[in-house]
């Protein structure tokens, strides 16, 4: 019964997407109160945001890879790739300074990074008699949450609960990379050992049904988390506490990915002996006897904006487990047309995130499109390892 009610509410929210409202082109940045601005009665907005960053290749190296299929290992600094993908719908109903806003969002973060010792072994000349070794439980970070929330607004203040499902969650306790390579010249010996395991959990049967209504019906009541959002969202200043835990979800669909390689070499004159073992295992999502408790981390967000026709602003987010990002922006507001530039730094998408965008705001409808480039340096140079992204906001309102 609970699952049917949740699915029905989600479908109603999607159906109501014929209305939307124009909010800041910089997104809510974790403060749901921002969507309560700049409209009279009701509306709804939708957005999509996808960003990818990598530390493997420079722009020249990427061109060689894409156009010629050539990989130059000398180009590689770090084996590190990060993705961020967000999408959502916000609906609002307002009577003077009182109102209600509801939202449905999907937020995904992924970071894959090999230890420097492994990268050095791959790209550099191998030194005989040197041991290359690394053990890392943080080489893969991934979280994806589906949120369904409602906020009650009292002027610039808001408070409201949020139900959330962990769609994808990498269990750090059972995710580990072990690597070792040893060699010697006399006697001539070498051994390579790699053992990597990734433990992935989900509240739904993700591999069978994808992210669909049928998949959501496989979620159990205990896999629903409950959080609280509370904050203030004024014209020039806002602060919010998001995802304060009221009930932590317990999820029990699990899939395992394992790779094991063991290679040995011995040589005595012309007598050479080798031995190798290589196994890979990828399991389907199955229900486990023991559930995993997912403790979603609360976060604090804030913004500060100056000016009217020409605006300057600063935004920040800090999560209790140490994840953070800060952003500064400038915007030229010409009523119907708004143009802006922002600079962001953080530790999920490492580097300097440059964004340029424009927004057409006709008051009853709007369209906002921006493009992003991520660089190693504040001023991107020829050797920078670029990342890219695109974001689209759209909607109507009255």
- Write down the domain spans for the chain: 2-397
Predicted confidence at residue 363, as pLDDT, reads 73
Bridge-based pairing state of the strands 225-233 and 237-247: antiparallel
Are 285 and 205 contacting, i.e. CB atoms less than 8 angstroms apart? yes
Predicted confidence at residue 30, as pLDDT, reads 60
Residue 171 DSSP one-character state: -
**Dihedral sign of CA atoms 110, 28, 217, 220 in order:** positive
pLDDT tens per residue across all 398 residues of the chain: 545 544 444 443 333 333 333 334 445 456 767 765 655 677 788 889 999 988 888 877 777 777 777 777 777 778 889 898 999 888 888 888 888 989 999 999 999 999 989 988 888 888 888 899 999 998 999 999 999 999 999 988 999 999 999 999 999 889 999 999 998 888 889 999 999 999 999 999 988 777 778 888 889 999 999 999 999 988 889 999 999 999 999 999 999 999 999 999 898 777 788 899 999 999 999 999 889 999 999 999 999 999 988 999 999 999 998 889 899 999 998 878 999 999 999 887 778 999 999 998 887 788 899 999 998 888 887 778 888 999 998 888 77
Predicted confidence at residue 171, as pLDDT, reads 94
Predicted confidence at residue 22, as pLDDT, reads 35
**Dihedral sign of CA atoms 378, 392, 30, 220 in order:** negative
Question: Distance between alpha carbon 250 and the CA centroid of its chain, in Å?
Answer: 21
Rounded to whole angstroms, what are the CA distances from 280 to 196, 260, 283, 364?
A: 10, 6, 10, 55
Predicted confidence at residue 6, as pLDDT, reads 47
Predicted confidence at residue 7, as pLDDT, reads 46
Predicted confidence at residue 388, as pLDDT, reads 92
Say how far apart CA 295 and CA 298 lie, in whole Å. 9
Say how far apart CA 374 and CA 355 lie, in whole Å. 9
State residue 292 phi and psi, 5-degree precision: -100, 125
Bridge-based pairing state of the strands 188-202 and 42-54: unpaired
């Amino acid at each position: 019964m609970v699952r049917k009610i949740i699915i029905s509410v989600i479908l109603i929210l999607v159906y109501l997407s014929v209305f939307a409202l124009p909010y800041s082109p910089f997104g809510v940045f974790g403060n749901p109160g921002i969507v309560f601005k700049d409209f009279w009665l009701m509306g709804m907005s939708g957005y999509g945001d996808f960003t990818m960053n990598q530390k493997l290749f420079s722009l020249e190296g990427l061109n060689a890879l894409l156009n010629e299929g050539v990989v130059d290992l000398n180009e590689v600094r770090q084996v590190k790739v990060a993705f961020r993908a967000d999408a959502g719908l916000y609906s609002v109903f307002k009577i003077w300074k009182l109102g209600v806003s509801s939202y449905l969002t999907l937020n995904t973060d992924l970071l894959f990074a090999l230890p420097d010792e492994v990268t050095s072994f791959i790209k550099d000349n191998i030194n005989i008699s040197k041991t290359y070794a690394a053990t890392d439980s943080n080489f893969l970070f991934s979280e994806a949450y589906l949120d369904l929330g409602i906020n009650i607004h009292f002027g610039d203040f808001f408070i409201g609960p949020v139900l959330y499902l962990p769609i994808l969650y990498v269990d750090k306790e059972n995710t580990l990379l072990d690597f070792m390579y040893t060699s010697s010249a006399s006697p001539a010996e070498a051994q390579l050992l790699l053992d990597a395991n990734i433990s992935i959990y989900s509240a739904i049967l993700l591999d069978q049904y994808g992210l669909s209504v049928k998949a959501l019906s496989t979620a159990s009541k205990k896999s629903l988390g409950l959080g609280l959002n509370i904050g203030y969202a004024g014209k020039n200043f806002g602060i919010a506490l998001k995802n304060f835990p009221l009930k932590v979800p317990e999820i029990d669909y699990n899939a395992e990915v394992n790779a094991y390689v063991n290679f040995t070499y011995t040589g005595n004159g012309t007598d050479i002996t080798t031995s190798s073992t290589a196994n890979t295992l990828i399991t389907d999502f199955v229900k486990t006897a023991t559930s995993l408790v997912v403790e979603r981390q609360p976060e604090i967000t804030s913004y500060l904006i100056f000016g009217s026709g020409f605006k300057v602003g600063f935004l920040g987010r800090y999560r209790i487990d140490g994840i953070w990002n800060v952003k500064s922006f400038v915007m030229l507001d010409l009523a119907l047309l708004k143009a802006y530039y922002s600079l962001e730094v953080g530790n999920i998408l490492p580097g300097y995130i440059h964004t340029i965008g424009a927004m057409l705001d006709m008051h009853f409808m709007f369209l906002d499109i921006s493009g992003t480039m991520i660089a190693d340096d504040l001023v991107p140079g020829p050797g920078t390892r670029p990342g890219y992204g695109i974001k689209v906001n759209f909607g109507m309102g009255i």
